[in-house]
Structure 1
Amino acid sequence: MEAAENVAALETKSAGDWDVKQAFGEFMTSFEAFKESNDRRLHELEGKSGEDVVTVEKVDRINRVLDEQKKALDALTLKGRRPALGGGAVTPSEHKSAFEAYVRGGDEAAIRALDTKAMSYGSGQDGGYLVPPETEAEIGKRLASLSPIRALATVRQVSTALLKKPFSVSGPATGWVAETAARPQTASATLTELQFPTVELYAMPAATQALLEDAVVDLDQWISDEVEAAFAEQEGKAFVVGDGLNKPKGFLTTPNVHEGDWTWGSLGYVPTGVAGALPASNPSDVLIDLVYALKAGYRQNANWLMNRKVQAAVRKLKDADGNYLWSPPAQAGGRASLMGFGLVEAEDMPDAAANATPIAFGDFARGYLIVDRAGVRVLRDPYSAKPYVLFYTTKRVGGGVQDFDAIKLLKYSAA
């Protein structure tokens, strides 16, 4: 059976029925079907009759299948990397035992001896206890898997509310000189100070008393499961489009200027030449321009960043030799690539629109800094939502661009 004829069957597959190997095989089959249908569409465009509506609909449908299968494949791969619950006898730490007693029954005696109540940075005492190290590590690890920017950026842990980071904008001036000529004084290096404040991110899962009294329930695991999605969703959005007011400052809210006019403190962009779209003729040229707008030292570890809809459009592009610019991951758990560079999907990136910047390219480890204040805190509240017990879980996190030359944007504009 031809690849294109398998699409209908692929759409009915349940992600829960796949193992990773089978899911990867289905994904590659879909990609072959996509190439076959898209080649037919491009051939029709070159003909006199123009592209057929049925063919266009088929390409879009397979594109959606690819997106869903890649999402399912990523989820299966992530699940396979998680340790089995209850897979061995591990002696709980003293802090973990005390924390569990606090969470289950509100017994503060043991944990009070080990921990002190948290003090709010800006406003009086808000109470709460530090979670045990096992829980904090679990939350941080799984956030890295769920938040694409956190997985790409540099992450620093601090014990204060503000990180100040010096950055050398320019080195000392130098010059050639004759052996016996005078040595005039040169300009010194130029330093700038970047500040990254940490702000509070919270989640408040609720549990019934029956759940807390169930000794089978792993409370650390439950808290991690409840807060990871909420934290990752809020973090991921803030790292991209956060305005810096009680949240991290996203890289897309940093001022951007045409690459030819770039100065420190802003991100450079390359225009597509067409408002709201890629150029109809040789669209791959603007992507090449964006790649080489980035200096060689940054390109070595560069990645593309875009959302699912923009990736679907880019997936249809070919170079001058007829080769697809987008390539599927080489193995399960790997990343797709675009023109040889890794492609990361971030749903908080904007859609294609006039003057939008839906595609970013750069070395995000050097370009963006995430600051985590050490400690995740939990405050047990059995009173506010009876019969439920609320767990007010907080952490402090900040972020912002640290190297404005390491990230470049593709702007869907005429100039």
Structure 2
Amino acid sequence: MDPELLEKAVEDMTKATSEGFAKLTAKLDDERKEREALEVRMQRQGLGSGPTATVGKDTIDRASLADELKAMDKFARSAGNGDVSEIKALSVGSDPDGGYFVLPQRSTQMITRLFEESPIRRLARIETLDGGDSFEEEIDLDEAGATWVGENASRPATDTPRVGVLKVPLCEVYAAPKATQKLLDTAHRDVGAWLDGKINDKFARSDARAFILGDTPLQPRGFLAHDKSLDDDFTRPFGTLQYVKTGHASNFKTSNPADQLKQLMWSLRAPYRRGATWLMNSNTASVIDQFKDGQGNYLWRDGATAGAPPSLFGYPVEFDENMPDLGANEFPVAFGNWMHGYLIVERPGLKLLRDPFTDKPNVILYAYRRVGGDVANSDAIKLLKCEA
């Protein structure tokens, strides 16, 4: 390349650069002077009174200065981008201003309300069916006749014992909750398994209530749904339960209230007292818990070890909140040998069918179980009735 041309190119570039720097410096100087003048105006806005104010050698209209200050404030709030919304500090309390960053810690557990459990299934006899829709069992109702005779006396026929049959049909309980397919697919928890557990729990509590109070053909037959009588064993019809009065129309009698509990205990014959258990709800237990003997000692005894049931007259006490409270014509206390007295029959397991087709986009979780129950031996269960 020609040295003269190269030298001329360098001179032209140097000159252009110098001119550019000069223009930039002049522009920056003008902006500095404008900013300083504005700062002076802002610092001196409160001097004097009236429509104008003197700043240095300049006389400034106050209304104009107020407009400039307002424009300056608007500029600051807009962050120079024209958005006049107020600029806020980041905070947890506002989701758009940072609250979305702070997430709650989600527990892996779930708070579950606890419901009372019935002891009937634990105390009664249970038969598991492999097939059929009912369970039948023979009942030995009577004793054989016998009499003493002399050596040469005639021997006429004696009474032959009667037999009967107990038939306990299987009843069906079902549930059909539904949930959307999307919920089942996307929930952080296994909603299907959770519903299965809730259904199973509800079925268990429905069974327990029916074993005591069931009074329709669609339910297991509760022992309180049976006929009741004051007559002793072998004098009242089999299947009718014997009861003892409390001596008060709606409570225990005031004087020696525990006497009726003792009478109830002794009304259960000796073959059944071995293994017998009291049954009542917590409200009734809170009343009986205060009974004392003639020496002022409480009749109620707490369990000797942790988890052991309390005892009354030496027999364990179990609690079932399905038992009635004390009240007119109610039967708040039962005493019996439940292994002999009550029979539960069932087909094993909970049957569950998931139906995603019938009600799209919902999935129906159809569950059912079959169970039955009835008094097997009416001699083995005794009741206390609130009656004067």
| Same fold by TM-score greater than 0.5 | yes
Q: Is the 8 A contact 1:307 1:345 kept in 2?
A: yes
Match for residue 336 of structure 2 among 342, 362, 375: 362
1:373 equivalent in structure 2? 347
Deviation at 1:165, TM superposition (A): 1.4
Structure 2 gaps of 5+ residues are: 1-114
The yes-or-no answer on 1:352 pairing with 2:326 is: yes
Q: Deviations over 1:260-297 (max 9, x none)?
A: 56332200001111111101011111100000000011
Q: Deviations over 1:300-332 (max 9, x none)?
A: 111111111111111111122222122222222
Structure 1 gaps of 5+ residues are: 1-142
Match for residue 146 of structure 1 among 113, 117, 122: 117
Deviation at 1:195, TM superposition (A): 1.1
Choose 1 or 2 for highest CA Rg.
Answer: 2
**Equivalent residue letter for 1:301:** G
Q: How many Å separate the matches in 2 of 1:196 and 1:281?
A: 42
1:7 equivalent in structure 2? none
Deviation at 1:218, TM superposition (A): 7.4
Q: How many Å separate the matches in 2 of 1:349 and 1:360?
A: 9
Match for residue 218 of structure 2 among 246, 262, 266: 246
**Equivalent residue letter for 1:181:** A
Q: Is the 8 A contact 1:198 1:372 kept in 2?
A: yes
Q: How many Å separate the matches in 1 of 2:240 and 2:313?
A: 26
1:110 equivalent in structure 2? none
1:155 equivalent in structure 2? 126
2:280 equivalent in structure 1? 306
Q: Report how many aligned residue pairs link the two structures.
A: 271
Task: Pick closer, same or farther for the CA change 1:374–1:274 going to 2, 3 Å.
Answer: same
**Equivalent residue letter for 2:119:** P
The yes-or-no answer on 1:273 pairing with 2:251 is: no
Q: How many Å separate the matches in 2 of 1:224 and 1:365?
A: 30
SS in 1 for 2:317: strand
Q: Is the 8 A contact 1:244 1:250 kept in 2?
A: no
Task: Pick closer, same or farther for the CA change 1:385–1:309 going to 2, 3 Å.
Answer: farther
TM-score between both structures, scaled by the size of structure 1:
0.61
Q: Deviations over 1:84-109 (max 9, x none)?
A: xxxxxxxxxxxxxxxxxxxxxxxxxx
Deviation at 1:221, TM superposition (A): 6.0
Q: How many Å separate the matches in 1 of 2:349 and 2:204?
A: 17
SS in 2 for 1:405: helix
Q: How many Å separate the matches in 2 of 1:313 and 1:406?
A: 25
Query: What does residue range 12-411 of structure 1 map to in structure 2 within 5 Å?
Result: 146-158=117-129, 159-207=131-179, 209=181, 212-213=184-185, 222=194, 225-260=197-232, 262-383=236-357, 386-411=360-385
Task: Pick closer, same or farther for the CA change 1:387–1:287 going to 2, 3 Å.
Answer: same
SS in 1 for 2:141: strand
Q: Is the 8 A contact 1:307 1:348 kept in 2?
A: yes
Q: Is the 8 A contact 1:161 1:373 kept in 2?
A: no
Deviation at 1:375, TM superposition (A): 4.9
Q: Alignment identity in percent?
A: 41
Q: Is the 8 A contact 1:160 1:373 kept in 2?
A: no
Deviation at 1:188, TM superposition (A): 1.5
Q: Is the 8 A contact 1:205 1:226 kept in 2?
A: no
Task: Pick closer, same or farther for the CA change 1:192–1:220 going to 2, 3 Å.
Answer: farther
1:76 equivalent in structure 2? none
1:119 equivalent in structure 2? none
